[in-house]
């Protein structure tokens, strides 16, 4: 249990903690395990670290507000934590403290004296000369001004009052929160030094998670825009606003809507793409996104490509628009286009919308051949329209692009169909004239390419649904609104027992108890604090990130409730695990068991990120000297009621008293 407590408090496993400590240059073996295993010490350490985080935020806010209109002063010699790294030791000489003289065996061969070239500092407590290594971080100065029971019970500060948790910081009653001065490690209590270490580990975890979120955001954007993200951003700065792009899109669609714009629509299957091509999702990207010079290309060896586009909702589709790539078309790479539509995924049930020869469509327009001469936002991009004879109501669109063999361009699919022309793909004697193609990655190899695919039409509104769909929805709603014939009633219990800081609850039932159908849980009163560590930068209150997401959204704290029941022969069997949603404190939440359970003992165990929660400031208790390891608002006491289903008439007029 003690090892679990240590893992929960640091929110890391042992291996992850050691890797984090090594990343900041600290030997994990130098940390006293007896201190970490002291439950009371760990509880107070986390409360001091929480206090340090809030004081650090308040100090930085005061620094930023006080520096308005003034020039930025130089950086301090010490940072907020001043963690001793592997291989660093006291400079000796002018240092009168010599707090860091022992060098870990891990770095004995690379031990160096740090700060020998710097002038010694003066401790504000003992007024002795001290080097940089023997100084505590600037965050330790906050506790000389702030009154906290957790610190005063362990060090020599004279304060005897204050909050026992770091959730309330009264800046008005404390002295200045500026971090001017130095305090040596001998004058700073060990708990404060450990709190600085714990806070620094939390900052590193936050930066690591933020970096992973930024990388994931870049990778997701790269799948849509491509590797030309920087060029795209610079071009968008020079281009017109989005209103102009919307105007161009409106003209392209002829007053209708573009139905297949990512992320509201996407491809059902992946499509083979050339190495130096834009990603496949760029075909459905917004019109003004990505670089103007990028476009999608298939490998030169691919002669046929099928795109399966799933729309966001059922829509009336009137046609498809294919935006021509910046390279333009040549005689060798103009494709044949065939389009199908359906509401279902099975290809046997799709309907053909038509087949078009792009080369015959663009013979009258020489602008579609060759590279694009000028690129302007106000000008309509080069495009080819494939208009359906009649609008079709569908959800899935199949679009096939197929390269033609030389000589097949003169074939008219409406008349004069030649059977010999259908066998050209299988004719081994057919010679392909490899001429220059602007779209091919390799010269003289034509390939399939496109800039954008626009599905034109209008979405179907709810009132436009068929009568059968409306009647089906109405019947389902009536069934949901109908009062159940059976009601929930509380199962009486003989006794209950709380364990492991009220995170485990066991309920004992009488022998004649009915079959259990589920349980009701009242939502917890604990909250997830927004401030979990001190600022990682001396210039910004909140960490900068590409995603602009806080850590509580990047790595959400999730709670689970594991339910076990005693089954013969005297074994506890796990019934189910339920993920608990976020709800207002006291909100009843009902959870059904997978099957009726007959048992005399039921166990509930709260799992998940329990250390990410804290009590409301108004509900914190200052009376006890023992700091709780988890928030008291997560206690399972008087929160769970087992219930069973029964007809109210069978219980008589007192049935309402035991209803759940």
Sign of CA dihedral 112, 118, 124, 127: positive
Given this model, what pLDDT does residue 316 score?
92
Query: How far apart are alpha carbons 82 and 136 in whole angstroms?
Result: 6
pLDDT, greater one: 428 or 142: 142
Given this model, what pLDDT does residue 165 score?
38
Q: Would you state the structure tokens that stand for residue 259, as one six-digit string? A: 């139905």
- Terminal Cα-to-Cα distance of the chain (whole angstroms): 35
495 confidence band (pLDDT: 50, 70, 90): very high
Query: How far apart are alpha carbons 473 and 649 in whole angstroms?
Result: 32
Residue 232 has pLDDT above 60, yes or no: no
DSSP 150: H
Given this model, what pLDDT does residue 9 score?
42
Average the pLDDT over each of 264-268, 528-532, 538-542 and give the range with the smallest value. Answer: 538-542
DSSP 60: H
Average the pLDDT over each of 45-59, 225-239, 291-305, 556-570 and give the range with the smallest value. Answer: 225-239
* Concatenated DSSP letters of 524-568: P--B--S--S--SSSS-SS---SS---HHHHS---EEEEEEEEET
Rounded (10°) angle between helices 229-238 and 190-224: 80
pLDDT in tens, 12-50: 444 445 554 444 445 555 455 544 446 677 778 888 888
Given this model, what pLDDT does residue 56 score?
86
* For range 436-454, the mean pLDDT: 68
Task: Tell me, yes or no, if the pTM score tops 0.75.
Answer: no
Average the pLDDT over each of 307-311, 403-407, 584-588 and give the range with the smallest value. Answer: 403-407
- Please state, rounded to an integer, the average pLDDT across all residues of the chain: 75
467 confidence band (pLDDT: 50, 70, 90): low
Query: Is residue 166 within 8 Å of 151, Cβ to Cβ?
Result: no
Given this model, what pLDDT does residue 101 score?
64
Given this model, what pLDDT does residue 174 score?
43
Give the phi and the psi of residue 76 in degrees, each rounded to 5. -75, 155
Query: How far apart are alpha carbons 199 and 208 in whole angstroms?
Result: 14
117 confidence band (pLDDT: 50, 70, 90): low
Given this model, what pLDDT does residue 465 score?
52
Given this model, what pLDDT does residue 243 score?
73
Percent of the chain with pLDDT over 90: 21
């Amino acid at each position: 249990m003690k090892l679990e407590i240590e893992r929960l408090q640091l929110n890391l496993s042992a291996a992850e903690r050691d890797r984090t400590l090594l990343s900041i240059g600290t030997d994990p073996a130098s940390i006293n395990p007896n201190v970490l295993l002291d439950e009371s010490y760990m509880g107070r350490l986390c409360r001091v670290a929480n206090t340090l985080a809030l004081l650090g935020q308040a100090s930085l806010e005061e620094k930023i507000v006080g520096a308005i209109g003034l020039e930025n002063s130089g950086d301090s010699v010490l940072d907020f934590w001043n963690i001793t790294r592997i291989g660093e030791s006291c400079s000796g000489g002018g240092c009168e403290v010599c707090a860091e003289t022992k060098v870990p065996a891990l770095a004995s061969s690379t031990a160096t004296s740090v700060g020998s070239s710097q002038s010694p500092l003066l401790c504000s407590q003992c007024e002795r000369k001290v080097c940089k290594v023997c100084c505590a971080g600037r965050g330790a100065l906050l506790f000389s001004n702030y009154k906290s029971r957790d610190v005063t019970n362990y060090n020599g500060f004279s304060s005897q009052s204050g909050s026992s948790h770091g959730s309330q910081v009264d800046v008005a009653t404390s002295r200045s929160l500026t971090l001017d001065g130095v305090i040596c490690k001998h004058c700073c209590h060990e708990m404060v030094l450990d709190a600085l270490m714990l806070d620094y580990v939390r900052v590193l975890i936050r930066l690591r998670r933020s970096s992973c979120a930024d990388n994931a955001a870049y990778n997701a954007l790269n799948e849509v825009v491509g590797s030309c993200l920087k060029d795209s951003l610079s071009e968008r700065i020079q281009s017109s606003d989005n209103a102009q792009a919307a105007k161009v899109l409106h003209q392209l669609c002829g007053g209708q809507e573009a139905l297949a714009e990512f992320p509201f629509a996407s491809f059902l299957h992946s499509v083979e793409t050339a190495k130096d091509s834009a990603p496949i999702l760029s075909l459905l990207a917004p019109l003004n996104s990505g670089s103007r010079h990028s476009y999608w290309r298939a490998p030169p060896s691919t002669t046929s490509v099928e795109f399966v586009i799933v729309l966001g909702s059922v829509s009336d589709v009137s046609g498809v628009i294919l935006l021509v790539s910046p390279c333009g078309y040549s005689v060798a790479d103009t494709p044949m286009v065939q389009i199908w539509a359906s509401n279902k995924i099975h290809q046997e049930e799709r309907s053909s919308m038509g087949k078009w020869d792009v080369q015959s469509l663009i013979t009258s327009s020489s602008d579609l051949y060759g590279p694009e001469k000028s690129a302007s936002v106000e000008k309509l991009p080069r495009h080819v329209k494939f208009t359906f004879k009649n609008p079709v109501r569908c959800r899935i669109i199949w679009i096939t692009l197929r390269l033609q063999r030389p000589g097949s361009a003169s074939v008219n699919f409406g008349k004069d169909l030649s059977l010999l022309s259908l066998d050209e793909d299988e004719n081994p004697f057919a010679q392909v004239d490899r001429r220059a193609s602007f779209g091919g990655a390799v010269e003289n190899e034509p390939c399939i390419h496109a800039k954008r695919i626009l599905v034109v039409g209008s979405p179907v509104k709810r009132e436009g649904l068929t009568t059968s769909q409306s009647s089906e929805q109405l019947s389902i709603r009536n069934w949901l609104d109908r009062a159940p014939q059976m009601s929930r009633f509380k199962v009486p219990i003989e006794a209950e027992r709380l364990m492991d800081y009220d995170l485990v609850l066991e309920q004992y039932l009488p022998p004649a108890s009915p079959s259990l159908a589920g349980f009701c849980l009242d939502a917890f009163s604990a909250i997830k604090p927004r401030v979990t560590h001190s600022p990682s930068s001396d210039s910004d209150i909140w960490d900068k990130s590409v995603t602009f997401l806080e850590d509580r959204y990047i790595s959400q704290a999730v709670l689970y409730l594991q339910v076990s029941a005693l089954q013969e022969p005297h074994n506890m069997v796990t019934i189910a695990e339920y993920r608990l949603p976020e709800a207002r404190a006291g909100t009843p939440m009902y959870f059904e068991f997978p099957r009726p359970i007959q048992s005399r003992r039921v166990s509930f165990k709260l799992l998940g990120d329990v250390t990410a929660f804290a009590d409301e400031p108004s509900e914190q208790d200052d009376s006890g000297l023992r700091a709780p390891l988890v928030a008291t608002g997560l206690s399972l006491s008087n929160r769970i009621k087992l219930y069973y289903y029964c007809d109210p008439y069978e219980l008589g007029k007192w049935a309402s008293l035991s209803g759940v």
